[in-house]
A = this chain, B = another copy of it.
Amino acid sequence: MELLKQRIIKDGIIKKDNVLKVDSFLNHQMDIKLFAEIGKEFKRLFSDCQINKILTIEASGIGIACIVAQYFDVPVVFAKKTQTKNIDGDVFTAKVESFTHSKTYDIIVSKKFLCADDKVLIIDDFLANGCALLGLSKLVKDSSAELVGAGIVIEKGFQQGGELVRSSGVRVESLAIIDSMDENNGIVFRN
């Protein structure tokens, strides 16, 4: 998605440890007009699919997923990262390792909101080591719902997540795949 790639080049900041800061438009401040273009693109890519639910994970996936959902006319469910008082005991759960926060946590979705007849599209902002996406995929599998695919805004193609998830049989569509990034040489996208 050219508009997205241009925006990453313009406003993305490459930090050490392969961190790409896109917090001015994607995951702290959020450019809702860009999200609408992202929504249209995911609708185009998954136009051949029957989808009745979008699944994402808190926090930064939620905004994108909600705007994307408008183009599919479906509700969004977001996986929560800790068990709160407001969640019933009856949940699907998976363990996810967070690179950003250097810890492992449980993600949960209430069993009320993932059913065997659901056709689920996962939406998330980043795909790097693949842990979050594999965790979300497990929740869908455990619910016996059909996982139609995953729509990712930015994939770090130099990390193993994309390969790992695709080789597990999940269709992954990433709007921008970064093959390399470097403070001196900038960002190289996959064609």
Binding site for B on A (CB under 8 A): 17, 19, 21, 23-25, 27-33, 35-36, 58-59, 62-63, 65-67, 69-70, 73-78, 80, 82, 84-87, 100-102, 109-110, 112-113
Contact = CB atoms under 8 A, between A and B. Distances in A.
A7 B101 CA distance: 37
B35 A63 contact: no
Given A23-B86, A86-B100, A30 B77 contact: yes
Contacts of A70: 32, 36, 67
Contacts of A101: 82, 84-85
Contacts of A69: 30, 32
Contact of A86 (B21, B76, B77, B109): B21
Given A29-B77, A33-B73, A63-B65, 10 more contacts: A28-B80, A30-B69, A32-B69, A32-B70, A62-B63, A63-B66, A82-B101, A84-B100, A84-B101, A85-B101
